[in-house]
Amino acid sequence: MKPAQVEAQLSRVLSEAIAGLRDPRVPLIVTVERVAVTPDYGLARVYVSAMGADMPALLDALTHARGHLQREVSAHVRMRRTPTLEFHAAGERSFL
């Protein structure tokens, strides 16, 4: 698969999985703005935003739920290896 296709699938699956989280630090509406994968698909940087949310707490909650979210990706995206997820606020400039 091409990187753009992988990024689109990861974005869709993660949006649904994050919406299903039952953590009080995660608001009802979290938007996955962008997903960027490394050329070897070993790392996926996920850029999220949420209106009126405490971003550090949200990023901490998502990092805490990383294992669950990676299992969701593994179950729904056909890849040889599931990338490690790294969460960032949508405004951050952290490029691969």
Residue 96 pLDDT exceeds 60: no
Q: Which helix (H) or strand (E) holds 60?
A: helix 55-64
On whether residue 96 sits in a domain, the answer given is: no
Q: What is the CATH number of the domain that holds 26?
A: 3.30.300.20
pLDDT tens digits, residue range 2-45? 889 999 999 999 999 999 999 999 998 999 999 999 999 999 99
Q: Among candidates 47, 40, 39, which has minimal Cα distance to 85?
A: 47
Q: How many CA atoms lie within 13 A of 13 on its CB side?
A: 21
Reported as a single tens digit per residue, the pLDDT across 57-78 is 999 999 999 999 999 999 999 9
Residue 75 is assigned to a structural domain of this protein: yes
Domain that holds residue 32: 3-89
pTM for this one? Answer: 0.89
Say what the pLDDT of residue 75 is.
Answer: 95
